[in-house]
Amino acid sequence: SQTIHQWPATLVQPVGSPLSLECTVEGTSNPNLYWYRQAAGRGLQLLFYSVGIGQISSEVPQNLSASRPQDRQFILSSKKLLLSDSGFYLCAWSVRYSGGEGYTFGSGTRLTVV
């Protein structure tokens, strides 16, 4: 069966520090991968998605970047965190080339920038 792992679960970082959140998927190949953010009191916003290794699409301009060094690994990064980067970050995957399989989400990382 397919599983998605996301870590760390909780992170407190000072303003200006770097960030690296990792997401890995098991039990599937060639997935679409996604990073979403849920800010306090707001809805889920798509940040990045990837349809293959090294292929990253950004949905909104921001202080963050994403990379996909391996087929089932998706990394969210920042060189210098801002207070506005605080939020709940969720990784998700779906089957590529199909609109009918739906999404599976990880358990999320709660990031607090202080």
Partner 1 sequence: KQEVTQIPAALSVPEGENLVLNCSFTDSAIYNLQWFRQDPGKGLTSLLLIQSSQREQTSGRLNASLDKSSGRSTLYIAASQPGDSATYLCAVGAGTASKLTFGTGTRLQVTL
Q: Where does this chain touch partner 1 (CB under 8 A) — which range of 12-20, 64-72, 75-83, 101-109?
A: 101-109
In the list 51, 65, 73, 86, the residue contacting partner 1 (rule: CB under 8 A) is: 51
Q: Where does this chain touch partner 1 (CB under 8 A) — which range of 14-22, 62-70, 75-83, 106-114?
A: 106-114
User: If binding is defined by CB under 8 A, does position 57 make contact with partner 1?
Assistant: yes
- In the three-class reduction of DSSP (H, G, I as helix; E, B as strand; rest coil), residue 15 is classed as coil
Binding string to partner 1 for residues 79 to 98, with x set by CB under 8 A, is what?
A: ---------x-x-x-x-x-x
User: If binding is defined by CB under 8 A, does position 104 make contact with partner 1?
Assistant: yes
Q: Which is nearer to partner 1, 33 or 113 (CB)?
A: 33
Let me know: does 106 contact 23? Beta carbons within 8 Å.
yes
Q: Closest distance between partner 1 and the C-beta of residue 98, in Å? A: 8
CA distances, 80 to each of 6, 14, 70, 110 (Å): 21, 9, 24, 17
Q: State the DSSP string of 37-73.
A: EE-TTS-EEEEEEEEETTEEEESS--S-EEEEEETTE
**Nearest Cα to 30, choosing from 80, 71, 84?**
71
